[in-house]
């Protein structure tokens, strides 16, 4: 499967649309355990990214992702801007100077993104963050790929793991970020970062599933 720069542009455009659509929901989740601005901040950031995309539409994938990451870091308040920005920046390094990539490259880029988030946020699994969505999704994708499952089916398994990971944050005690200030009161609420990560994972799967397999 060939994932091209055009697909990456479409992926980012769709994230922006989905975040705008779910802005109120993400903010509602954040109002329970955060600053009630997660959806607002992400919408602002991805709207700024949308404005920048025409300037990199003919560039390599690394440049597109780097521009996305730098824009998020500079325009999104709170923790989500630096975290998602770092994710895109790390992925851009994994795909530097490329105009297309395959499923194995996708796994490498996602792993680089996760590593960046964990380092920037100084967080691990089980702390009620976006990592609890992203890490299980990558594990499931790698496991499916090791069984020679085709890319579309592997991504569907990955998305199911992402959803389960997102929901697993509900009973967790938050130990990172603003939610950690609430202590026991953070239990029983779905983490907004884990939720936005799931939305992005959904867009990724939709984008890849739209790619027609090569003939032959």
The number of domains in the chain is 1
Residue 183: inside a domain: yes
In a domain, residue 61? The reply is yes
Mean residue pLDDT across the chain:
93
Name the token pair of 185: 């009161």
Residue pLDDT, tens place only, 160-191: 999 999 999 999 988 767 666 666 777 999 99
* Per-residue CA distances from 105 to 13, 96, 135 (Å): 21, 11, 17
Confidence tier at 35 by pLDDT (50, 70, 90): confident
Does residue 26 lie in a domain region? yes
- Asked if the structure places residue 214 within a domain, the reply is no
In 3D space, the residue among 180, 70, 92, 80 whose CA is nearest the CA of residue 120 turns out to be 80
> Could you report the per-residue pLDDT of 99-133, keeping only the tens digit for each?
999 999 999 999 999 999 999 999 999 999 999 99
Residue 215 lies in a domain: no
In a domain, 60, yes or no: yes
Please tell me whether the overall predicted TM-score, pTM, comes out greater than 0.85 for this model: yes
CA 170 vs CA 100, 126, 143, 145, 175: distances in Å: 38, 11, 25, 29, 13
Identify whether 81 is part of a domain. yes
Q: List the domain range (segments joined by +) for residue 164.
A: 3-209
Reported as a single tens digit per residue, the pLDDT across 57-84 is: 999 999 999 999 999 999 997 789 999 9
CATH of the domain at 58: 1.25.40.340
| 216 is a domain residue | no
């Amino acid at each position: 499967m060939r994932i091209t720069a055009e697909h990456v542009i479409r992926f980012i455009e769709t994230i922006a649309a989905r975040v705008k659509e779910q802005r109120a929901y993400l903010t509602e989740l954040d109002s329970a355990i955060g600053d009630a601005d997660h959806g607002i901040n992400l919408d602002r950031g991805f709207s700024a990214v949308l404005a920048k995309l025409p300037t990199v539409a003919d560039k390599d994938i690394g440049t597109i992702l780097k521009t996305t990451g730098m824009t998020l870091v500079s325009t999104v308040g709170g923790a989500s801007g630096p975290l998602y920005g770092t994710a895109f920046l790390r992925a851009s390094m994994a795909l530097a100077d490329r105009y297309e990539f395959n499923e194995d490259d996708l796994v490498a880029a996602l792993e680089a993104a996760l590593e960046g988030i964990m380092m920037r946020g100084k967080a691990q699994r089980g702390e009620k963050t976006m990592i609890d969505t992203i890490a299980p999704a990558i594990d499931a994708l790698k496991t499916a790929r090791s069984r020679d499952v085709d890319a579309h089916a592997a991504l569907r398994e990955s998305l199911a793991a992402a959803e389960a990971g997102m929901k697993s944050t509900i009973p967790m005690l938050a130990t990172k970020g603003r939610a950690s200030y609430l202590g026991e009161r953070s239990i029983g609420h779905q983490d907004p970062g884990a939720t936005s990560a799931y939305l992005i994972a959904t867009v990724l799967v939709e984008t890849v599933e739209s790619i027609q397999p090569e003939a032959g």
